[in-house]
Amino acid sequence: MAEDLTSRRALVLGAGMAGSTTAAALTPFFDRVTLVERDHITGSATDRRPGLPQAAHAHLLLGSGARWIDTLLPGTTAALVAAGAHRLSMPAQVHTLSPHGWLPPIPEAQFLLSATRSLIDSVVRERLRTDGKIELRAGTEVVGLIGDATRVRGARLRDRTTGAVREEPATLVVDATGATSAVTAWLAELGTTPVPTTVVDAGVGYATRALRLPDAWRQFGAIYLQADPAGTGRGGVLLPVEDDRWLLSLSGVRGQNPPTDEPGFDAFTAGLRHPVLAEALAQAIPLGPIRGFRKLANRWRHFERRGFGPDGLVVLGDATRSFNPAYGHGMSVAAQSATVVRTVLTRDASAPDLAARLQRAVARCAADAWAFASGQDARYLTEAPPGPGLRLQRWYMDRLGRAAVHRTAVTRTLLKSYTLDAPAGRLLAPRVLGQVLTVTTGPPPPSPFPPEVLPQRLPPGSATERTAP
Ligand SMILES: Cc1cc2nc3c(=O)[nH]c(=O)nc-3n(C[C@H](O)[C@H](O)[C@H](O)COP(=O)(O)OP(=O)(O)OC[C@H]3O[C@@H](n4cnc5c(N)ncnc54)[C@H](O)[C@@H]3O)c2cc1C
């Protein structure tokens, strides 16, 4: 691909987080960027899009992710907050029960934005519209690629209203069609070698319900009960979102998936590691059905390896690497990948093997998120006993987790790495190592939710007492 990309055309497939931010990243280098989306998009922030079934579930945007989006689409964070997203300091306003205890409420080490996924996407899309070079073609399904095994030259697109299929040529094609991307099938049609894939599947499942809570719950910000691999592997998160709503998302591993019927959902919540979420649920008015999501494996398709993926094509976002969402990394990694695309193109947009360079850069920036999510999920797998290297790694991570509960300097470092604000390598820095190796376990930090601080239940018959949906 040693061509000058100036005056050329980029085709970005899928207008989710990866596709939207990458479209923004590409505009300085192309005359026209076409963003193709299967769903019809009305522009409303309350849309339920079939192509984004995960949008019903809690979607926190890490501060690092927000900053990466702002780099490409300036003003997005401010626009999100203006539209009702909650900006929460971590850990002070995100009360987190780790496997080792509650994280201390130190001042902001990081922040996150809490809003529905639909709001996040609609604000990002709105800002894309201000870029005259980007054309959003909604209601258009990608049905294949054009080119051959060595070079992709465009895509076949089907208009979902008329059914007409046409070929759309492009200098660069970016596949960002998400976790269900058919890119491997499209590539097989062109005769490429199947791409190797790594899967770490703990059989994670989600269930989520939107709620209204009494106003007194707002003082707490978000509440996150992490799963404990040494226990049941069940977790839950309660996030405030726009319009005075909350999302309660529950997660469980194989055989422990949260049910989507009301008694089962309530019982699962009651069985979590701390009763605070069950109390919230007992005081809540449900705002709709419980929605489930299964098959949340960590999956990495290795397009970055030499010999896989023809020139002219870059695959990013969930289409190349998806994670157990309990770690909240997916959207941020998608946005980070887009900034990396911008950086690589800025260095040399006409480099030979540009697509391969882009693919390798994208793979590097997702490495830490992959290590956190797949490393933690691998603890639920029992097929093979861990070797000495892995045992040492787990021993260290356990001690690190314990130190993060008892030593605030470690809390800060762990949170920064965990939220992708600092490289995971920092967790092995001598300063951290010293704290981790010398930590002694005193009494665990107290729960921020003793019964006396919880809002009182309202008497039966009062206006906001829980009612059936
Ligand atoms: C239950 C759940 C909870 C999650 N929670 C979080 C969280 O808290 N924080 C976080 O950061 N991440 C979270 N994630 C992960 C996050 O949703 C993804 O990582 C992120 O959306 C990836 O962006 P993407 O653009 O790659 O894919 P998506 O955002 O899924 O977008 C793919 C787009 O491609 C379109 N498309 C698909 N096929 C075609 C086609 N053939 N033609 C045209 N268009 C097509 C789809 O309609 C969609 O718009 C969660 C995921 C799940 C499943």
Average pLDDT of 21-35?
Answer: 96
Q: Is residue 28 part of a domain?
A: yes
Ligand 1 geometric centre to CA of 234 (Å): 23
Nearest residue CA, atom 50 of ligand 1?
325
pLDDT of 43 higher than 70? no
Q: Is the CB of 19 under 6 A from ligand 1?
A: yes
Q: Is the CB of 186 under 6 A from ligand 1?
A: no
Give pLDDT, residue 12: 98
Give the amino acid at 412.
Answer: R
Q: Is the CB of 68 under 6 A from ligand 1?
A: no
Q: Is the CB of 318 under 6 A from ligand 1?
A: yes
Average pLDDT of 100-117?
Answer: 92
Average pLDDT of 318-331?
Answer: 93
Average pLDDT over all residues of the chain = 91
Q: Is the CB of 300 under 6 A from ligand 1?
A: no
Q: Is residue 411 part of a domain?
A: no
CA neighbours closer than 13 Å in the CB half-sphere of residue 118:
19
Q: What is the largest CA-CA distance in the chain?
A: 72
Give pLDDT, residue 460: 62
Q: Is residue 182 part of a domain?
A: yes
Ligand 1 geometric centre to CA of 102 (Å): 30
pLDDT of 102 higher than 60? yes
Give the amino acid at 55.
Answer: A
Give pLDDT, residue 465: 52
pLDDT of 409 higher than 60? yes
Distance CA 26, CA 28 (A): 6
* Other beta carbons less than 10 A from residue 358's beta carbon: 27
Which pLDDT band, with edges at 50, 70 and 90, does 464 fall under?
low
Distance CA 329, CA 322 (A): 9
Percent of the chain at pLDDT above 90? 74
Nearest residue CA, atom 49 of ligand 1?
16
Give pLDDT, residue 2: 45
Ligand 1 geometric centre to CA of 331 (Å): 8
Give pLDDT, residue 379: 86
Ligand 1 geometric centre to CA of 417 (Å): 23
Ligand 1, residues 54, 72, 175: which to mutate, most atoms within 8 A of Cβ?
54
Ligand 1 geometric centre to CA of 318 (Å): 7
Give pLDDT, residue 295: 83
Give pLDDT, residue 348: 87
User: How many structural domains is the chain composed of?
Assistant: 1
Give me the torsion for CA of 249, 254, 255, 259, rounded to 10°: 20
Distance CA 193, CA 186 (A): 12
Report the nearest atom of ligand 1 relative to the CA of 316.
Answer: 26
pLDDT of 302 higher than 60? yes
The boundaries of the domain holding residue 360 are 9-55+62-84+117-199+297-372
Distance CA 237, CA 108 (A): 19
- Rg (C-alpha) for the chain, rounded Å, is 23
Which pLDDT band, with edges at 50, 70 and 90, does 46 fall under?
low
DSSP-derived pairing of the beta strands 205-212 and 291-293: antiparallel
pLDDT of 90 higher than 80? yes
Enter the tokens of residue 196: 């190797």
Alpha-carbon distances, residue 156 vs 187, 315, 337 (angstroms): 12, 16, 25
Give pLDDT, residue 444: 76
Q: Is the CB of 236 under 6 A from ligand 1?
A: no
Q: Is the CB of 39 under 6 A from ligand 1?
A: yes
Ligand 1 geometric centre to CA of 178 (Å): 5
DSSP string, 207-276: EEEEEE--GGGGGG-EEEE---TTTT--EEEEEEETTTEEEEEEEE-TT-PPPSSHHHHHHHHHTSSSTH
Give pLDDT, residue 440: 80
Report the candidate in 74, 101, 104 with the shortest Cα–Cα distance to residue 89: 104
Ligand 1 geometric centre to CA of 65 (Å): 15
pLDDT of 283 higher than 90? yes
Ligand 1 geometric centre to CA of 14 (Å): 9
Q: Is the CB of 127 under 6 A from ligand 1?
A: no
Average pLDDT of 167-188?
Answer: 96
CB 341 within 8 A of CB 362: yes
CATH code assigned at 28: 3.50.50.60
Average pLDDT of 224-245?
Answer: 94
Q: Quick one: how far is CA 355 from the chain centroid?
A: 24
Which pLDDT band, with edges at 50, 70 and 90, does 216 fall under?
very high
Q: Is residue 73 part of a domain?
A: yes
Give pLDDT, residue 335: 98
Distance CA 252, CA 232 (A): 8
Distance CA 130, CA 117 (A): 21
SS3 112: strand
Ligand 1 geometric centre to CA of 330 (Å): 8
Which pLDDT band, with edges at 50, 70 and 90, does 466 fall under?
low
Which pLDDT band, with edges at 50, 70 and 90, does 82 fall under?
very high
Which pLDDT band, with edges at 50, 70 and 90, does 445 fall under?
confident
pLDDT of 467 higher than 60? no
pLDDT of 6 higher than 50? no
Q: Is residue 104 part of a domain?
A: no
Which pLDDT band, with edges at 50, 70 and 90, does 382 fall under?
confident
CB 300 within 8 A of CB 370: yes
Q: Is the CB of 15 under 6 A from ligand 1?
A: yes
pLDDT of 4 higher than 50? no
Burial class of residue 40 (count of CB atoms within 10 Å of its CB; 0-12, 13-18, 19+): middle
CA neighbours closer than 13 Å in the CB half-sphere of residue 21:
28
CB 160 within 8 A of CB 141: yes
